[in-house]
Amino acid sequence: MARFHVVDFDEPGVVAKGKGSRNVILRLTRTLAKMGVPSSILSCSDLLDQGAVRDPKSFVLLHYNELFVVQNEKVDWLRGRERELADLGHHILHSVEQGRIVGHKIRQNQVLTEAGVPMPKLIQLNEEFETVFSNAVSDAHVPVQLIGPEEEINPARYNTEYIDCRHEYAGELWHVCIRAQAVGGKVLFAWVRAGTAPSVHTRDTPVDADLIRYFHDKLITPNQDQIADIAAAVKRGLGVGLFAHDILPCARTGKLYLCETNFKFYDGNHRFHMAPIREQHPVPSLFDGRKVGRRLAAALISELSLC
């Protein structure tokens, strides 16, 4: 019988902040159990104490924030725990190597581009460019820069060609990003975020049902195949995981590019931010914890052949 475990850590620096609330993870494991896959949330030491497993389909998802692991130099510590779990017969999701790729934007771009994911081109020092989008290599929610051709880039930063994602609504230009939640190659939800600056976050997005629906109909509905192709290509590059893909809809060509991906169970921030317009939101299932749990569970069962 297949089994699924979510492993939490209490080691300083190996935390799961921003990856999804415990309520959603509880819903996921309970739903998996109802669907015939025994599941649990437990500490690494508790799972190690259970000893070797006989089931060839025992999966363990390591629950951690990939950026914090890189920043706090916990890669070797986490790799040791992963090795112990694998030696007991568990298959690992969100492995250390996955985390090292996802948590380092340059490495992520290189690996996923090779896997066929459309991503903005990396710009190297002394290379010609029109405009560069410059970001921190291993951090989130930090200032970004747009660099013109007369300026010099900082090679210590993550520098890519700038994809112009400015789309018009009601006479104003908005920078628009698509966020897609996926399990492996299966897209569960996709929604838009919009702001007045090139780096778009949930908190920047107006709580405006008409704007949200307009950009959803313009950029998500006709591009579902492109979004699905991106998720499938990320799976080729990284394997099965629970991801939030940030996707750039180019205003000039209509092509979608993956800006970056990260580990994510659920985007609770968007749910809370958009709660005032939940009845008018184009993705109402985002606000239903039961539906979220069912979709997560069904996708994991399919992607990992648990049943």
Q: Does 111 lie in the same domain as 64?
A: no
pLDDT at 10 over 90: no
Average pLDDT over residues 185-197: 96
- For residue 127, being part of any structural domain is answered with no
> What's the pLDDT score for residue 307?
83
Of 223, 237, 162, give the one whose Cα is nearest residue 187. 223
Q: Residues 109-146: pLDDT tens digits?
A: 999 999 999 999 999 888 888 999 999 988 777 788 89
| pTM of the entire predicted model | 0.95
Quick check: is 22 in a domain? yes
pLDDT band at 157 (very low <50, low <70, confident <90, very high): very high
34 and 55 part of one domain: yes
Cα 96 off chain centre by: 16
| Residue 50 belongs to domain with CATH number | 3.40.50
Q: What is the CATH number of the domain that holds 296?
A: 3.30.470.20
Phi-psi region of 26 (alpha: psi -120 to 50; beta: other; left: phi over 0): alpha
Asked if residue 125 belongs to a domain, the reply is no
Q: How does the average pLDDT of the chain come out, rounded?
A: 94
Residues 251, 173 share a domain: yes
Secondary structure (3-state) at 22 = helix
User: Largest Cα–Cα distance in the chain?
Assistant: 63
Structural domain total, the chain: 3
Summarize the confidence of residues 100-115 as an average pLDDT: 96
Whether 139 and 169 map to the same domain: the answer is: no
Q: Do 267 and 244 meet the contact criterion of CB atoms below 8 Å apart? A: yes
Which has the minimum average pLDDT: 41-45, 78-82, 149-153, 283-287?
Answer: 149-153
Full domain range(s) for residue 23: 3-102
Q: Place 200 in a pLDDT band, splitting at 50, 70 and 90.
A: very high
Same domain, yes or no: 148 and 220: no
E strand spans, the chain: 3-8, 39-43, 58-62, 91-93, 132-135, 145-147, 158-161, 166-169, 172-183, 186-195, 242-249, 256-263
User: Does residue 281 carry a pLDDT above 80?
Assistant: yes
Assess whether 194 and 299 both reside in one domain.
yes
